[in-house]
Structure 1
Amino acid sequence: MWSYNTTPRSTTEETPFMLTYDYEAMVPVEVGSGSLRRDRYTKEYSEVNQSLHLDLLEEARENSQPRLAVYQQCAARYYNKKVKGQLLKVGDLVLRKVMSNTKKTQHGVFGANWEEPYKIKAILWKGTYHLEDMEGKLIPQAWNAEHLRKCYQ
């Protein structure tokens, strides 16, 4: 926890501790032994410095926001570049991923990873589908495209 709160983030270039309390945390070793920061401490200087830092705290937080937005855009761009969309249409045949509650226990680790073909009955919204089996019986819940794979028969 200490390491997380006292390490500057690449997104804001500030430590979470600094953005919360408006001063840098002291390492526990500094408290027990002497350090320049601790040896030069005076109450008057600390109060003046604290007042100045409190005035600048909101500015530091505001300056971190654009850096955070740029970081989030870069992360989204990287993610979207790697993701390949799967275009499925009504009537396409798909295989459904075997879930832990539908897995046949007697097959063990050699059991199938994908269940028999289903037809896409309806598209609810992008990436979410209603399925029906090959006899036309509707599967009760909607399925996300991440759990479906196009079947080429």
Structure 2
Amino acid sequence: MAPKEGIGAMPFHLVYGGEAVIPVEVGVESDRIQHYNEDNAKRRFLELDLVDEARAKAAVRLMAYRQRMKQSYNRRVIPRSFQVGNLVWKKVKPVGDITKMEAPWAGPFTVVEKLRSGAYYLQDEDGR
């Protein structure tokens, strides 16, 4: 099984600290079962000491991957700001039985208040 992109270690290894042995390998003598000895147990305990380090490395790689994804997404975003009194259209998310011919927006709405978070309070033509 190949490692997940951006993480670098297999999930089983991150959780349990070792390689998974599938039931087929237990029933049929594989190399892993045939060449098992007590030194493997000692090596296993040494590997368990390194599990926390492997998890930390995977977490760092995952954060770097998420940062690259965020930068890639934000590069394509076009920032827009509106002032109080501007007329705007609001995008309508399709719910239920909406046909292709219906407009994907509603409005016009008047910007009533601009919030610090980048959100806006809107008012329609009827004052709602």
Q: TM-score, normalised by structure 1?
A: 0.69
Residue of structure 2 in register with 1:50 after alignment: 44
Q: 1:29 to 1:82 in 2, by over 3 A?
A: farther
Residue of structure 1 in register with 2:33 after alignment: 38
Measure, in 1, the Cα distance between the counterparts of 2:102 and 2:62.
Answer: 45
RMSD, matched Cα: 2.4
Q: TM-score, normalised by structure 2?
A: 0.80
Q: How does 1:4-153 map to 2 (within 5 A)?
A: 7-42=2-37, 44-99=38-93, 109=99, 110-134=101-125, 137=127, 139=128
Q: 1:67 to 1:98 in 2, by over 3 A?
A: closer
Residue of structure 2 in register with 1:149 after alignment: none
How far is the alpha carbon of 1:66 from its aligned partner? 2.7
Instruction: Give structure 2 stretches of 5+ with no counterpart.
Output: none
Aligned residues: 127
Could you tell which deviates more after superposition, 59-68 or 86-95?
59-68
Residue of structure 2 in register with 1:142 after alignment: none
How far is the alpha carbon of 1:99 from its aligned partner? 5.0
